[in-house]
Amino acid sequence: MNTKQKDIIDMINNDSNMSAKLKESFIKQVSQMNEDELEAFLKSMKKAKDNKNLQEKILRLQETEKNSHTDFLQTAYALLKKITTHKRKKQEESDKIKTNEILNKIKSS
C-alpha cells in the first residue's frame, strides 16, 4: 500500500458521517487498488465536485461497468465452453481408440 492509499484510508476512518460498515467497504476497495486504479479513483472524485448531476453520472458509469462486466462474462463463458468441448473431443477420441483395440483383440482371438 502506498502513502496515497494510506492518506485516503485515514480520511475515511476519520469521517464522522458514514457508518462503520460503509467505511469498511470503502477501505477494502481502496486498499485493493493499483497505481492506475488509484489515479482513476482520485480523478473521478475530484471531478465529481464540478458535476451538477452526480446521480445521473453514477447511473451512466454503473451502466458502462455493467455492460463491460457482461462482455467479460460472455467472453469467459465462450472460452470455458471451448475448453470443455476440446476436452470432451479428446476423451471421445481416446475412448474410440480403446474400443477399437478391444474389438481387434476379440476379432483376432
Q: Give the footprint of other proteins on this chain (CB under 8 A).
A: 4, 7-8, 11-12, 15, 17-18, 21-22, 25-26, 28-30, 32-34, 36-51, 54-55, 57-66, 68-81, 83-84, 86-88, 90
CA distance 65 to 55: 15
Q: In the complex with other proteins, which residue's Cβ is closer, 15 or 101?
A: 15
Between the CA of residue 24 and those of 8, 18, 66, what are the distances in Å?
A: 13, 10, 23
CA distance 70 to 76: 10
Rounded to a whole number of angstroms, the minimum distance from the CB of residue 28 to other proteins is 7
Q: In the complex with other proteins, which residue's Cβ is closer, 89 or 103?
A: 89
Rounded to a whole number of angstroms, the minimum distance from the CB of residue 95 to other proteins is 13
CA distance 95 to 92: 5
